[in-house]
Structure 1
Amino acid sequence: MLVSRKAAGTLFVGGALSFTLGSLLYPAMLGVQKVSGAPERVVATPATGPLTAADQDFVVKVRAAGLWEYPVGQKASKKGTTKAVRNAGEHLVDGDAALDAACRNVANQLGITLPNQPSPQQQSFESRLNAESGKQFDTDLATTVRATNGQLLTTIASIRSTTRNSLVRGLADQANDTVLDHIAVVETTGLVDFGQVLAQETTSPGLPAQDLTPPPAVAGQPQVVLTPPANSAVSPSPTAG
């Protein structure tokens, strides 16, 4: 399945195990839509290969995606009205927890400070879904997750084909597998509104940069960790062999 999960820390904050990392950099103006400035600008030269602004932005995007999608997956696994929706929620939780562990590991090695909250736009997705129930929740969950993962898939392909850093390549590979799994399981629900998906994937959100950018973590604040489920009951992805 996904890469091995690292042991979590010992603080418990907001329902997630947490610890503090002494990360060095935060790409403060890097949005989850595009990099501000020259994306190919090399910002560091670690042993794993040159690190660009686009590479940094990608690591932050992966982190931010999990921060909103993981709690939504938890809710879907409990209040989804069909087995397919509940199974999709379990896939989101399981995949995002494993990907988050890899993301934090890469960020720690590369000195990238990760956010503890998703972007305001992503927070609005979560808030809307929190307020919904029944078939409306199921349909909006499937459509929103399908659209956001479709957008992230495009970013993964771009980074995987251009990055010169081996750690970023490895993260892109795992993110690709996770995103394809999430796309497959929400499509299996039969509830994805592909018209809305196409509109969201091809139309600019028209939001200011700050709404598309995760807020920087507060100095000294324990790092939020997306914990893997104790006993995963995830069914194989429809695309699995």
Structure 2
Amino acid sequence: MGGAMALTLGALAYPSMLGLNTVSSSPTRVIAQTQWGPLTEGDRDFVVRVRAAGLWEYPLGQIGLQKGTTKGVIEASKHLVDGHAALDASCRKIAPMLNVTLPNVASPQQEGFVTQLKGESGKQFDTDFANILRMTHGSIFNTIAKIRSTTKNSLVRALADQANDTVLDHITVMEKTGLVDFDQTIFQQTTPPKLPDSDLTPPPPPAGQPQVVLTPPPNATSSPLNIDGVTGGGGGGGGGGASPAPSPSSTVG
């Protein structure tokens, strides 16, 4: 595989770090009280992280549909496009409700994966596609479990439920390609390279830039969250009388 594998309003608006490593200096710190429960740094970073994942895995799924040479890789590519379109729609629904600013491009590290795979073909593409995506999905899978078990915010909890199902599905289809080198991939997953924060951070969108939308495929089988079905509260941090999150006045890049 390539070398790529080797309380302020600003803090609410955009995380200062994002990537395969711990993204918050204090992930349990409550940064806003909302009608759906308290929002922590970890909750906020999770919403951004799910969005960022789709911004590179969705287009990589489209590339896989064109360049994949095996049925397994083609099928996995379909799952990437379908699953991340639905997850992205959910992120775009709940982010304004929580006043979380979403990126429009992935992190430099994530974009590096796309650049690497764009330059490959044949067996090399298929193998690196399966292993890189198995590694990255395996990494965020642990984050999803932690968020799901600890968040007190019902919107974040619902997103974690959807992300759990989607990421497990993507892990499974990558493994079904028969191309995953488990020793190498799990090592990469559990021992990520020490990269500068700038490589792990998707930049905040310029003011006024239209939001990127990941369009569902015509035969989509995954659905975004039904917000009307998400109950409020979640306990703690202010109870039923909590006000919505404050409007952010700035972003942190």
TM-score, normalised relative to structure 2: 0.80
Distance 1:36 1:25, change over 3 A: closer
2:64 to 53, 76, 80: 76
8 A Cα contact 1:26 1:216, kept in partner = no
Structure 2 unaligned spans of 5+: 1-10, 223-253
Structure whose CA Rg is larger: 2
| Larger RCO, structures 1/2 (Cα 8 Å, 6+ apart) | 2
1:36 to 11, 24, 28: 24
Q: Tell me, yes or no, if structure 1 residue 217 matches structure 2 residue 212.
A: no
8 A Cα contact 1:28 1:216, kept in partner = no
| Equivalence for 1:152 | 140
Q: Tell me, yes or no, if structure 1 residue 107 matches structure 2 residue 107.
A: no
Write out aligned runs for 1:1-241 (5 A): 25-32=12-19, 33-232=21-220
Work out the number of aligned pairs and report it.
211
Matched residues, percent identical? 62
TM-score, normalised relative to structure 1: 0.84
Displacement of 1:231 in angstroms is: 2.8
Matches of 2:16 and 2:178, distance apart in 1: 38
Displacement of 1:26 in angstroms is: 2.8
Distance 1:232 1:56, change over 3 A: closer
Matches of 2:13 and 2:130, distance apart in 1: 31
| Structure 2 counterpart of 1:151, one-letter code | S
| Structure 2 counterpart of 1:61, one-letter code | R
8 A Cα contact 2:12 2:31, kept in partner = no
RMSD over aligned CA atoms reads 1.5
